[in-house]
Amino acid sequence: MLAFGRFAVPLVTIFIGIALGHQTPQHETLIDPRTRYPASYTLPVQGFPGLQSNWNPRPDCGEHSYVGHGRLRGRRALITGGDSGMGRAIAIAFAREGADVAFNYLAVEESDARETVSFIRAAGQKAFTIPGDLRNESFCADLVHRAAASLGGLDIVVSHAGYAFEQAYIGNHSTESFEQTLRTNVYAPFFIARAAAPLLPPGSSLIFTASDVAIGGNARLVDYAATKAMLVSFTRSLALQLWPFGIRVNAVAPGGTLTNFLTTQGETTESINGAVSMTPAGRLAQPVEVAPAYVDLAEGINSFASGSVYGANGPTGGF
């Protein structure tokens, strides 16, 4: 009797579920942020821009962990820097949420880009690759127009790709390094936003990648931190300017995340493990932990989020 009583409710639920044409909802498992990922890292020895395939173990970009819920069904997204790291995590998350994705990367990152494409297509979505260097003004405009042509329009643009190289002392800071940082992190987002705005319909979403160092500062990343502060200000002003067009403009501010960006900056296995052990969180973010903020900002239901900077940087006292 008791056993029958226990089983009666689930069976009835299943029958009702079948009758109504939907599945019985499943519980989401609680995720403990402290222990979700290990807190020690092995960085590959590589320069700029680096490859995801050089990592062992690899960063988690959601390849086998991100579960979509149809939140971006029918959307058409352009992402810069979508081959690896956070850009790949955003591409995979968007595809699993139902968006078609065009993404950009440098030609030397083609093998990583191929992997991202395979995950987008496995999610049943269209993928388009547009390699090229974002420091090139005409390429940025070209990129936006080619993405819109391939996807049949654009309603999400994520200007994500960035560059940083650590320099401990301004007396040694080269003009070339400073310029590469500014061209990639400031000029390219401007070029992309300028080309995209006329194409974006009301309800679309423009998202930039800022950083926790925009406000907190970083002694070894003075130019990089300044470019991210510019993006925060740019986001807030452009949100005001484009609200009358129905375009929402926001940014995500990640903190330390396990990607090729660390080796580009000049970090090594020793330096990163030493630095991370002193942070309040005690570990870095994995790229897949940053992607949900981009999904939130892209989703139409988030209709009053504009001019916002979403934090995704652990308990560091940042955004």
Ligand X SMILES: *[C@@H]1O[C@H](CO)[C@@H](O)[C@H](O)[C@H]1NC(C)=O
Find the shortest distance in angstroms from Cβ 142 to ligand X: 4
Specify whether 66 is catalytic: no
CB closer to ligand X, 37 vs 187: 187
Q: How far is the CB of 144 from ligand X (least distance, A)?
A: 11
Helix (H) or strand (E) holding 105: strand 100-105
Footprint of ligand X (CB under 6 A): 132, 136, 138-139, 142, 168-169, 172
For ligand X, the closer CB: 131 or 300: 131
CB under 8 Å to 249, separation ≥6 — which residues? Answer: 205, 206, 207, 208, 235, 238, 239, 242, 306, 307
> How are the residues of the chain apportioned to helix, strand and coil, as percentages rounded to the nearest 5?
45, 10, 40
Closer residue to ligand X, CB minimum distance, 136 or 218 = 136
With beta carbons less than 8 A apart as the criterion, state whether 252 and 207 touch: yes
Identified catalytic residue from 41, 163, 224, 294 = 224
CB of 136 or CB of 316, closer to ligand X: 136
Shortest gap between Cβ of 163 and ligand X (angstroms)?
16
Residue nearer to ligand X on the CB measure, 184 or 250:
184
Task: Supply φ then ψ for residue 226, to 5 degrees.
Answer: -65, -40
Report whether the peptide linkage leading into residue 315 is cis, meaning its omega lies within 30 degrees of zero: no
70 vs 182: CA distance, rounded Å: 36
Alpha helices in 123-202 (DSSP H): 137-151, 175-182, 188-196
Residue 247 beta carbon to ligand X: minimum distance, rounded to whole angstroms: 25
Q: What's the distance, CA 302 to chain centroid?
A: 17
Question: Known catalytic residues?
Answer: 224
